[in-house]
Amino acid sequence: MTPADVRSGVRSAWAFLQRIELDEALSSFVPLGVNERFRDTALDPDKRYEEVYLTGLENSHYNFVLRDYSYFQFSCDVRDEYRFAYLPNPFLSPTAAGELGDLQDYVREGAMTLDEYLHRISELRGGQYPPPIRYENSPRQYKEYVHPQSHLHIGHHGENRWPLNRELTVTAFTTMIAKHFYGRAWGADKHIDQLSGLNSLEATFAAEKALCRLVSVARFSADQRAQFFFS
Amino acid sequence: MVDVGGPARIRGLAGSGKTVILAMKAAQIHMDNPDQKVLVTFYTRSLRATLKTLITRFYRHYSETDPDWEKIHIRHGWGSSSGPGVYADTSRRYNRSPMPLTEAQKSAGPGKNAFGWAVNDLIESVEIEPFYDHVLIDEGQDFPDSFYRLCYHLTKGERDKKKIVWAYDELQNILNVQMRRPEQLFGKDPDGEFRVDLDRSGAALALGASNDTVLSKTYRNQRNVLVSAHAMGFGVYGHIVQMLEGAEHWKDVGYEVHNEPIEIGKVVELFRPTENSPLDLIPIDNVPVIASHSAINFDAEVNWVTTEIRKFIAGGLNREDVLVISLDDRNAKGYFRAISQNLAENDISSNNIIADPYNEPPFSIPGKVTLSTVYRAKGNEAALVLCVGVDAVSARDRGGRNKLFTAFTRTKGWLRVCGVGANAANISDELTTAAMTAPYMRFVMPDPLVIDTIQRGLSDKKIKAKALRDRYLKDLKEAGLTEEEISEQLKVDVI
């Protein structure tokens, strides 16, 4: 996958989020470069996740923001070396996020100013939120058992790597996050695919998987396949 | 910059340098008295980064280190239930949880200022001890009275010696509060005396020194942009909703009045001389300083805006020099979604200020076009400002007119204004007339009884002193002294 492919994927992912009404704000389709402040915060093992999240948000270091103020980052330096990240909002639980729709209606109706709306959101707090998920594909860094070419980092922890035997596309990653963490928006899309009979989003998700290339055998050994991995 | 040893007010138009003066003052106090605690407070959240940058820049002009931020506190007036702010910090110092907005709104009741209520509740519940040696308040026009009283209590020193400086611009008050005199802002002490009375505290000041400064010159806007913004803010080519108190007030803010006295029903002609608006762009062919557009629908409006942005960027403007302001609060998100998408298709990134409810985000980020509401744009500026959704502005009330003025005066260079339908067309026509008439403004003086009059806010004593000072300055000029020599002669600075 090239930087141009990632750009095109971000564009499609944004269109998908618009379709299921999770879109809040778009910054760019172009893969992100390095933001030193964000990098230093993200790499500091003593920083709490909240700080990492806020630093990215404050510096607009994202491609797009979701309705619950979680955001996505996509970067690609050179061909086949790319990283995607989903940074959930650590301040809003699913219940608190459910209030956003009402508040947004108040703004549209003129019963609440936009500033009041933002202030109210900043005061909402919840106890549960999804884990941050990062995805990396790096043939250059492949090391059997230790550093899979294609892997996920789950949670605010840099040393776990969950192998995949496919190279995720931007849309596959975005769709996966939407399906697992935004069940209400996912379930609200009721169009049925004529061929498969599935909710059309399920069909979309399946189609996205088919577009993800299998990792080369040279960088995903038979011994490693004998262990657990995402398929 | 002279320390007047007590409270002082700075008034001036948008772009006259109020924020810069406060930042310079904070840096200078910190340089001279590094152990003293300084509070710099503001209303618009996105102003924090600007203030920090300015203070750091001025301080580093004389020092190789950064300011000690333990001593200089740059704080939003309110803050939040978990973040810093003058009200929030003070509450926590007295073991009280800052009141969330929802609770404050419920307690204050409908139509009341929730922030004002919460601050008042704090003042009445605890005895607040002085905490700061100096308090500098920017955007003073937006704060409720109780906030001034909180600042009064937080400032060390006796009555008339408390070093509180507040910057005030009555034309930028988009919250629609009337101009308030210091006596009202700070209230009375238990002995019945006004806590702040600028005449009383300034009685012993040296000749030429002032604790109530009006800045007549503006450095941000092009002359014709400022005059046009004034015309729109008052409504002189449409529906006049407000007016300055009289000829002297117009002179205070840097205009010449060509046909005094100003009388109801007679034509008034005002002129803004170059010396009071020295910034002038070299004209560029086919790139007017001011342009407006009335689109047939939302999509056409978005296309017009993004085409303008692309033209300017292709012409060499940096992306961070571009600011889009939505004048339509209800649909701001929709505007920003559509504009950012259109920009992204052309590989132009954007920094959407309202996409971050948690931080006080930097207003300008290198490589990104800024998208903001009027409220979040206050105090900030950009070379190119594009105002969208102008059709949502009510041109028949003061709040709407002030919103136009505030948005238009964010530009250092070019101004673009657009909207959809008849209301946008009317405002566009008005703006065209204003731009064609500038640097003049001509209108028939309305009856003050049917509009809001913005008070000059000077006492009789101050008016006489100002007249004497103006005459003295004129004499010095006629005697051939330069500006520097006059300044030396007076031994005066701004404050």
Pick from A23, A107, A123: which is nearest to B80 by CB?
A: A123
Which token pair is B97?
């949880």
Q: Is A124 on the interface with B (CB under 8 A)?
A: no
Per DSSP bridges, beta strands B8-12 and A162-163 are unpaired
Cβ–Cβ of B349/A60 closer than 8 Å? yes
DSSP H helical ranges for B33-113: 47-62, 86-93, 101-108
Q: How far apart are CA B132 and CA B162, in angstroms?
A: 10
Residues of B in contact with A129 (CB under 8 A): none
Contacts of A49 in chain B (CB under 8 A): none
In angstroms, what separates the C-alpha of A110 from chain B's closest C-alpha?
Answer: 6
Question: Cβ of A123 and B102 within 8 Å?
Answer: yes
Q: Is residue A81 part of a domain?
A: yes
Per-residue pLDDT at A68: 92
Expressed in angstroms, the distance from the first to the final Cα of chain A is: 19
Q: Is the pLDDT assigned to residue B164 strictly greater than 90?
A: yes
Domain count, chain A: 1
pLDDT band per the 50, 70, 90 thresholds, residue B493 = very low
pLDDT exceeding 90 applies to what percent of chain A? 66
Least confident of A135-144, B165-174, B219-228, B455-464: B455-464
| A99 within domain boundaries | no
Taking the mean position of all CA atoms in its chain, how far away is CA B383? 17
Q: Residue A208 and residue A167: Cα distance in Å, rounded?
A: 11
pLDDT greater than 50 at residue B176 = no
From A110, which residue of chain B is nearest by alpha-carbon distance?
Answer: B330
Phi, psi for A25 (deg, rounded to 5)? -145, 140
Topology of domain B223-452, per CATH?
Rossmann fold (3.40.50)
Q: Compare B472 and A132 and report the one with higher pLDDT.
A: A132
What is the pLDDT at residue B258?
Answer: 94
Tokens in use for B190?
């238990």
Instruction: Extract the tokens encoding B126.
Output: 């605890």
Q: Give the separation between CA B105 and CA B118, rounded to whole angstroms.
A: 9
Residue from B115, B330, B394 to probe the interface with A (highest A Cβ count within 10 Å): B330
* pLDDT at position B235: 94
d(CA B241, CA A78): 59
What fold characterizes domain B8-215?
Rossmann fold (3.40.50)
The answer to whether residue A111 is domain-embedded is no
Q: Compare all CA atoms of chain B with the CA of A104 and give the residue at the minimum distance.
A: B330
Residue A96 domain flag? no
Q: What is the nearest CA distance from B311 to chain A, expressed in angstroms?
A: 19
Q: Which residues of A touch B357 (CB under 8 A)?
A: 69, 118-119, 121-122
In a domain? residue A104: no
Pairing relation of β-strands A150-154 and B452-454? unpaired
- Peptide linkage before B357 cis (omega within 30 of 0): no
pLDDT in tens, B108-135: 888 788 999 999 999 999 999 999 999 9
Q: Do A26 and B337 touch (CB under 8 A)?
A: yes
Q: Any chain B CB within 8 A of the CB of A38? A: no
Helix (H, G, I), strand (E, B) or coil at A170: helix
Q: Which of B83, B168, B113, B136 is nearest to B361 (CA)?
A: B83
Which residues lie across from B415 on neighbouring strands?
A: B290, B385
Query: Vertex B454, ends B452 and B457: CA angle to 5°?
Result: 145
Dist. CA B390–CA B74, nearest whole Å: 33
- Judged against a pLDDT cut of 50, whether residue B492 lies above it is answered with no
Count the Cβ atoms, other than its own, within 10 Å of residue B406. Answer: 24
Give the pLDDT of residue B359. Answer: 86
Q: Note the pLDDT of residue B62.
A: 85
- Cβ-proximal residues to B156 (8 Å cutoff; 6+ apart), any chain: B130, B131, B132, B133, B162
User: Cβ(A205)–Cβ(A175) under 8 Å?
Assistant: yes
Range of the domain at A134: 3-90+129-225
pLDDT at A120: 85
Q: What are the tens digits of pLDDT across the range A147-189? A: 999 999 999 998 899 999 999 999 999 999 999 999 888 887 6
The yes-or-no verdict on residue B204 having pLDDT over 90 is no
In this prediction, residue B177 carries a pLDDT of 43
8 Å CB contact between B337 and B381: no
Residue A143 in contact with partner chain B when CB distance is under 8 A: no
CB atoms B344 and A118 under 8 Å:
no
Least reliable range by pLDDT among A63-67, B280-284, B375-379: B280-284
Give the tens place of pLDDT for each residue, B74-86: 999 998 877 899 9
Q: Which residues of A27-53 are buried (b: 16+ CB within 10 A; e: fewer)?
A: bbbbbbeebeebeebbeeeeeebeebb
Q: Is the pLDDT of residue A97 over 90?
A: no
Q: Is A122's CB within 8 Å of B352's CB?
A: no
pLDDT number for residue B430: 97
Tokens read off for B12:
């001036």
Burial B317-331, CB ≥16 within 10 A → b, else e: bbbbbbbbbbbbbbb
C-alpha dihedral (B467, B469, B471, B472), degrees to nearest 10 = 160
Bridge partners, B371 (sequence order): B324, B352
Which residues of chain B have a CB within 8 Å of the CB of A56?
none
pLDDT at B13: 79
Please give, rounded to a whole number of angstroms, the shortest distance from the CA of B451 to a CA of chain A: 26
Which residues does chain A have within 8 Å of residue B333's beta carbon, measured at their own beta carbons?
Answer: 24-25, 104
Structure-model confidence comparison of residues B15 and B66, the more confident one: B66
- Sheet holding B440-444: strands in order across? B256-257, B267-271, B440-444
Give the Cα separation of A3 and A140 in Å (integer). 16
Token pair of A195 as six digits: 């061929």
**Side-chain-facing half-sphere of B363: CA atoms under 13 Å:** 27
Average pLDDT over residues B374-392: 94
B356 and A58 within 8 Å at the Cβ level: the answer is yes
Res. B2 pLDDT band, cuts 50 70 90? low
- The pTM for the full model equals 0.86
Domain ranges of chain B: 8-215, 223-452
Please tell me the distance from the alpha carbon of residue B175 to that of residue A96, in angstroms, as a whole number. 29
Chain B interface mutation, best of A115, A120, A129, highest count of B Cβ atoms under 10 Å: A115
Give the one of A25, A116, A120 whose C-beta lies nearest to B355's C-beta. Answer: A25
User: Pick from B81, B352, B365: which is nearest to A123 by CB?
Assistant: B81
- Which residues in chain B have Cβ-Cβ distances shorter than 8 Å to A108? 330-331
Query: What is the 8-class DSSP label of residue B293?
Result: E
Contact B139, B378 (CB under 8 A): yes
Give me the amino acid identity at B174: I
Total beta-carbon pairs less than 8 A apart between chain A and chain B? 109
Q: Is the pLDDT at B44 greater than 50, yes or no?
A: yes
Residue B447 φ then ψ, to 5°: -75, 120
User: CA B434 to CA B442: how far, in whole Å?
Assistant: 9
3-state secondary structure labels for all residues of B298-315: HHHHHHHHHHHHHHHHHC
Task: Tell me the sheet residues that pair with B132.
Answer: B155
Contacting residues of B for A26, CB less than 8 Å apart: 337, 340-341, 344, 350, 352
Out of A14, A25, A58, the one facing B336 most closely (by C-beta) is A25
Tell me how far apart the alpha carbons of residues B252 and B58 are, in angstroms, rounded to a whole number: 28
Query: What is the per-residue pLDDT across B49-96, written as a single tens digit (0 to 9) for each?
Result: 889 999 999 999 888 899 999 999 999 999 887 789 999 999 999 999
Question: B361 and A57 in contact by Cβ < 8 A?
Answer: yes
How is A112-165 classified by DSSP, letter by letter? S-HHHHHHHHHH---S--PPPEEEEE-GGG-BTTTB-SEEEEESS-SS--EEBS
- Say how far apart CA B137 and CA B379 lie, in whole Å: 13
Residue B242's SS3 state is: strand
**pLDDT of A207 above 70:** yes
Q: Which among B82, B340, B365 has the least Cβ separation from residue A25?
A: B340
Task: Answer whether residue A95 is part of any domain.
Answer: no
Contacts of A91 in chain B (CB under 8 A): 358
Q: Are B322 and B383 in contact (CB under 8 A)?
A: yes
**Quick one: pLDDT at residue B495?**
38
For residue B392, give the chain A residue with the closest CA. Answer: A110
With 90 as the cut, is the pLDDT of residue B342 above it? yes
Is residue A141 in a domain? Answer: yes
Between CA B187 and CA B193 the distance in angstroms is 9
The percentage of residues in chain B with a pLDDT greater than 90, rounded to a whole number, is 62
Would you call A164 an interface residue with chain B, using a CB distance cutoff of 8 Å? no
Mean pLDDT across the stretch B195-219?
A: 84
Q: Does A223 touch chain B (CB under 8 A)?
A: no
Distance of CA B246 to the CA centre of its chain: 22
Q: What is the DSSP letter of B462?
A: H
Which helix H or strand E contains A100, and what residues bound it?
A: helix A94-109
What percent of chain A stands above pLDDT 70?
A: 94
Query: Can you give the pLDDT at residue B468?
Result: 66
Give dist(CA B249, CA B458) in Å, integer: 10
**A138 at B interface, C-beta within 8 A:** no
